[in-house]
Amino acid sequence: MRAGVGYSEQPDTAEAGRLAVEKAMRQAGRSGPCDLVLLFATAQHDARILRDAVACAVGSSVPIIGGGTVGAICNDHFGYAGNQIILACLWLDGVRCDLLAEGDLRQGEAEVGRRLGKRLLDAGVTPDSPLLLFYDSINDGDGGIRMHMATYLLAGMEDAMGFLPRTAAGAGMMGDYACSPVYQWTGVDMVRHNAMALLFSDDVRVDTTIMHGCRPGSGYHTVTRAEGQMILEINGQPALRFMNEAIGSNIPPENFPFFLTLGRNTGDKWGEFDEEAYVNRLCLAVEAEREALVMFEPDMVEGTEFQIMYRSLDLDYMAPSLDACFSRLEGRKPVFAMYINCAGRAAGYNGSDLEDAAEIQKIVADRVPLLGIYTGVEIAPVRGRPRGLDWTGVFCLFSVPE
């Protein structure tokens, strides 16, 4: 298996696609047809024009898979909220890769997950199979906008399969911060509100590392009443009233969205802090009339214990995690890396000067071709169980036997 990654910020969509393919071929040192293209682009680009341009450059028979991203990261460039596109040309060299796509997510994420899970079973998926999962984050039906829920999608898949692959990773895709409609490319088709899986044969291994730079800033509290994505009560008090008292008046409730982060520890409750044992959940909105917090996912149900999390003021947590990921290769050959990054972590959006993309570039350097995307939701295994995550960077390192 071999990979090359191409990046462009060229506003001319067709030219951007052509240039990105050229760069990917050059990095891979290959000129012959590739077997697969992963393609991601912001909502600034016309999806049909971009797909046609890439297909013209790589060959019309090559499957093109991907969708929207708020921005892109490669080994030597990154950017967001502009004309970014990024793609990876993959030469499988005997590795098997099955593409399975299902829609329409608007009819119910769990049902789509069940259909996708049944097809994965037919394709031979096992608990140890390397699997990438991508889906459209944005549901703009019924005259409004909401997020498709990774929690329900994964639950449907598990219901159909009886398990979830232990190393499955992926993303809820979106094309900009305004939640504009974007298309997904599913091999030969171009659709919306879709979920798709890439199932690799077992000679590929995907090692994942979770990085969110958050640590507990409180003791444990309990959700005592919830409704879907809404946390209505915490420790028996209305959620907004509780959080105001817990955090203090320096941060008013109108600033909670995309700032307030709650963490669920799936590891030892009283043990040493383990970043990769936490499922972080970001506040999406507040419901003042019901004194409720609206979270990105509906999994903070009654009885959930959580801690209020605070974000790191530096990025020194990243290098040890990434280096540990490379050290786990044990003689295997790294061929490709994906970095699935919460769009909120971009410095230009969250008001900090910490660009984790620059840190990723510095650490990865030229060890492996790097494709990074800015996403709405990140999926990664937490203690061997894939979950939807918020405010998280997920590093996925693909390797094959030497």
Model pLDDT for residues 243-279, shown as the tens digit of each residue: 999 998 778 899 999 899 999 999 999 999 999 999 9
pTM attached to this predicted model: 0.96
Same domain for 367 and 286, yes or no, is: no
Q: Which residues contact 137 (CB under 8 A, 6 or more apart)?
A: 147, 148, 172, 173, 174, 179, 375, 376, 377
pLDDT beyond 70 at 206: yes
Same domain for 206 and 234, yes or no, is: no
179: left (phi over 0), alpha (psi -120 to 50) or beta: left
Helix (H/G/I), strand (E/B), else coil: 156: helix
Same domain for 99 and 220, yes or no, is: no
Question: Beta strands 71-73 and 78-80: pairing type?
Answer: antiparallel
Same domain for 57 and 186, yes or no, is: yes
DSSP alpha helix (H) spans, 126-257: 150-161, 239-247
CA 6 – CA 20 distance, rounded (Å): 4
Whole-number pLDDT of residue 143: 67
Give the tokens for residue 103: 């829609």
Same domain for 219 and 204, yes or no, is: no
* Angle subtended by helix axes 47-58 and 13-28, to nearest 10: 40
The 8-class DSSP code of residue 35 comes to S
Q: Which residues contact 209 (CB under 8 A, 6 or more apart)?
A: 276, 321, 322, 324, 325, 394, 395, 397
Q: Which of 278, 311, 344 is the last residue of a domain?
A: 311
Same domain for 52 and 135, yes or no, is: yes
60 pLDDT band (50/70/90 cuts)? very high
Whole-number pLDDT of residue 144: 77
Same domain for 22 and 131, yes or no, is: yes
Q: Which of 311, 330, 361 is the last residue of a domain?
A: 311
The 10s digit of each residue's pLDDT in 107-145 is 999 999 999 999 999 999 999 999 999 999 999 877 678
CA 37 – CA 56 distance, rounded (Å): 12
Same domain for 299 and 330, yes or no, is: no
Same domain for 152 and 20, yes or no, is: yes
Q: Quote the mean pLDDT of the chain.
A: 96
Burial 317-349 (b: 16+ CB within 10 A, else e): bbeebbeebbeeeeebebbbbbbbbbbbbbeeb
Same domain for 9 and 120, yes or no, is: yes
> Could you tell me if 226 and 236 are in contact, meaning their C-beta atoms sit under 8 angstroms apart?
no
Whole-number pLDDT of residue 66: 98
Which of 155, 301, 282 is CA-nearest to residue 228? Answer: 301
Same domain for 262 and 391, yes or no, is: no
Q: Which of 269, 293, 311 is the last residue of a domain?
A: 311
CA 197 – CA 100 distance, rounded (Å): 5
Same domain for 176 and 289, yes or no, is: no
Output the CA angle 125-129-135, nearest 5 degrees: 80
The 10s digit of each residue's pLDDT in 68-108 is 999 999 999 999 999 999 999 999 999 999 999 999 999 99
CB atoms within 10 A of CB 228: 11
CA 266 – CA 276 distance, rounded (Å): 9
353 pLDDT band (50/70/90 cuts)? confident
| Cα R_g (the chain), whole angstroms | 20
CA 256 – CA 285 distance, rounded (Å): 7
State which residues form the domain around 280: 214-311
Query: How many domains does the chain contain in total?
Result: 2
Residue type for 266, please? T
Q: Which residues contact 17 (CB under 8 A, 6 or more apart)?
A: 8, 49, 50, 51, 53, 54, 57, 85, 87
